[in-house]
């Protein structure tokens, strides 16, 4: 063979190998944009601003959309998920590359001495080149699965942020309500102190109110701790330090006058739930991997190259070389069987996810309906409690009842506000869970007013100075003592001429107080 032709053939093989490698070494495209687009469609307003720095000022009060944006731009959890997508990008690039060409050099020396005999070879595997289009498509499908996985993780983080946000608002609202309970207890104690100092209340009864004030203060401290912990949990979850100044709205959002059709929600879940899409993508990947293995059919180790040899006498030999492994024993039988089993597993998993979505939607709807029913009942009770408070205030003004009864009725009304806040929180948590179950955000509608905005804080009981009230002018003859059981009282040693009956009314309130304490214990 002409030496020039030999050199040309060698150069062509090297050039082709370099060109093939170069064309497959391009940088991967930005795969984050499709995730951002899909996230905005399912959760409008959410933006993956990864370059956003921690802001020194946060909008006051912090709205839910702002909290979600802080999560996406500051939370390390989001950055970890974004890094997973970067790994998938790199894996896609690696899957498009082909193996490097192999070069071999050997030397042999005659036994009796003399010139060295050299052998050189250059080879390039061909199978990866032939299957490169299919492997590229497989890598793109794998990247799509990673994008869906990222989107699913981000949606779950958003829904968890909503839950922490509503919990923080509810805890703050409970604290505000408990402040009113504490003010009422202080006013009750102030009234008891004035009566005790005037000699119109027994010491045992005064000690009861004194101890009751401490019990309410303990409840206030517990509510305050719960509010601070809920705020810290929210800050930690969205990626902000605990010292961050944060102002939350004073109340939970209004109750939505909405109803949902279960069949429609299930249909939306089937089209929007990303876990189902991920499984379907895995099924597609398994099918394409099976096609790739079937195409190989055991012919994995195939390479072509050039072999050159220089004899001891100086003669040179050069020529093409083909090397391959015979698919006699291993034709990927085990891998094909494993893929078939994986497909069956994924199909069963998809069916299980559909059943799970059905149950999750049913449970969320049940929780929503229960919360709406409870809120309607508590709203009616609040209206009755407000009417009772107004009537009791009139009775006190006309000296027909004791101020202690008025304060106790007011405390029961405030306790209903605790119950309303608890059920309203349950409503919003169930609504967030429903959004996670269907894979998209539910629209917020406008409608009837929310009774949770009934503000009892305007009644400042701490400023009520009952010490200036002249209880000696109260006409007790108009008070109904017929319900009091005096049969067990020993009146033989009592001087009724000096008794002040103004304090008897407080004794009839013990049953109401105990009932209120039991209600507070149940709801706390």
- Using the structure block, give the residue that is written with the tokens 């009304």: 413
Range with the lowest mean pLDDT among 65-69, 216-220, 383-387, 492-496? 492-496
User: How far apart, in whole angstroms, are the C-alpha atoms of residue 8 and residue 121?
Assistant: 15
- Phi and psi angles of residue 428, each rounded to the nearest 5 degrees, phi first: -70, -35
Range with the lowest mean pLDDT among 1-10, 56-65, 85-94, 459-468? 459-468
User: How far apart, in whole angstroms, are the C-alpha atoms of residue 111 and residue 92?
Assistant: 52
Q: Which H helix or E strand runs over 308? A: strand 302-310
User: How far apart, in whole angstroms, are the C-alpha atoms of residue 212 and residue 422?
Assistant: 24
182, pLDDT greater than 90 = yes
pLDDT for 49 equals 62
The two structure tokens encoding residue 512? 């109401």
524, pLDDT greater than 50 = no
500, pLDDT greater than 50 = no
421 within 8 A of 245, measured Cβ to Cβ: no
pLDDT for 344 equals 92
Segment 321-345 mean pLDDT: 81
The secondary structure of 219-234 as a DSSP string is HHHHHHHHHHHHHHHH
Segment 6-31 mean pLDDT: 50
Q: Which residues neighbour 4 within 8 Å (Cβ) at sequence distance 6 or greater?
A: none
Range with the lowest mean pLDDT among 78-92, 125-139, 170-184, 416-430? 125-139
Segment 339-361 mean pLDDT: 92
In 3D space, the residue among 290, 380, 391 whose CA is nearest the CA of residue 341 turns out to be: 290
- Using the structure block, give the residue that is written with the tokens 């993508």: 281
pLDDT for 423 equals 96
Using pLDDT thresholds of 50, 70 and 90, give the confidence band for residue 445. Answer: low
Segment 24-41 mean pLDDT: 70
Using pLDDT thresholds of 50, 70 and 90, give the confidence band for residue 10. Answer: low
List alpha helices for 26-131, DSSP H.
32-42, 64-74, 76-96, 127-130
pLDDT for 196 equals 94
205-211 long-range Cβ contacts below 8 angstroms, 24+ apart: 205/503, 205/506, 205/507
27, pLDDT greater than 80 = no
The two structure tokens encoding residue 209? 């109110």
- Phi and psi angles of residue 277, each rounded to the nearest 5 degrees, phi first: -65, -35
């Amino acid at each position: 063979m002409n030496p020039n032709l030999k050199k040309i053939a060698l150069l062509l093989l090297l050039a082709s190998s370099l060109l093939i490698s170069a064309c497959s070494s391009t940088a991967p495209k930005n795969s984050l944009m499709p995730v951002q687009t899909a996230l905005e469609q399912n959760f409008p307003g959410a933006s993956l601003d990864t370059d956003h720095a921690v802001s020194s000022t946060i909008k006051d009060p912090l709205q839910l959309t702002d909290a979600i944006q802080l999560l996406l731009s500051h939370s390390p959890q989001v950055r970890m998920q974004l890094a997973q997508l970067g790994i998938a990008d790199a894996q896609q690039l690696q899957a498009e590359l082909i193996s490097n060409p192999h070069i071999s050099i050997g030397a042999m020396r005659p036994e009796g001495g003399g010139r060295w005999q050299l052998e050189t070879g250059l080879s390039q595997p061909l199978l990866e080149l032939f299957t490169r289009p299919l492997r590229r498509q497989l890598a793109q499908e794998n990247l799509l699965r990673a994008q869906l996985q990222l989107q699913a993780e981000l949606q779950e983080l958003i829904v968890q942020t909503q839950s922490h946000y509503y919990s923080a608002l509810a805890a703050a609202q409970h604290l505000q309500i408990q402040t009113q309970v504490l003010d009422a207890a202080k006013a009750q104690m102030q009234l008891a102190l004035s009566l005790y100092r005037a000699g119109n209340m027994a010491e045992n009864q005064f000690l009861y109110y004194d101890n009751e004030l401490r019990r309410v203060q303990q409840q206030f401290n517990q509510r305050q701790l719960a509010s601070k912990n809920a705020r810290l949990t929210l800050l930690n979850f969205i990626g902000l330090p605990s010292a961050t100044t944060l102002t939350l709205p004073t109340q939970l959002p209004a109750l939505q006058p909405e109803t949902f059709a279960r069949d429609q929600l299930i249909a939306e879940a089937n089209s929007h739930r990303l876990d189902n899409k991920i499984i379907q993508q895995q099924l597609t990947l398994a099918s394409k991997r099976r096609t790739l293995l079937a195409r190989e059919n055991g012919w994995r180790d195939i390479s072509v190259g050039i072999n050159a040899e220089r004899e001891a006498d100086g003669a040179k030999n050069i020529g093409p070389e083909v090397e391959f492994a015979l698919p006699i024993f291993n034709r990927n039988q085990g891998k094909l069987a494993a893929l078939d089993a994986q497909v069956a597993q994924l199909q069963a998993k998809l069916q299980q996810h559909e059943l799970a979505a059905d149950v999750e939607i049913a449970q969320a709807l049940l929780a929503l309906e229960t919360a709406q029913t409870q809120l309607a009942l508590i709203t009616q009770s609040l209206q009755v409690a407000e009417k009772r408070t107004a009537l009791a205030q009139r009775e006190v003004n006309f000296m027909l009842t004791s101020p202690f009864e008025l304060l106790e009725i007011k405390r029961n009304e405030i306790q209903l506000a605790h119950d309303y806040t608890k059920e309203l929180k349950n409503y919003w948590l169930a609504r967030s869970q429903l959004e996670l179950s269907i894979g998209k955000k539910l629209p917020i509608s406008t409608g009837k007013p929310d009774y949770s905005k009934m503000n009892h804080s305007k009644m400042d009981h701490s400023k009520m100075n009952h010490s200036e009230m002249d209880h000696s002018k109260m006409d007790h003859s108009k008070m109904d003592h017929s319900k009091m059981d005096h049969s067990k009282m020993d009146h033989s040693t009592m001087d009724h001429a000096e008794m002040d009956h103004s304090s008897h009314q407080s004794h009839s309130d013990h049953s109401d107080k105990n009932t209120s304490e039991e209600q507070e214990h149940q709801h706390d």
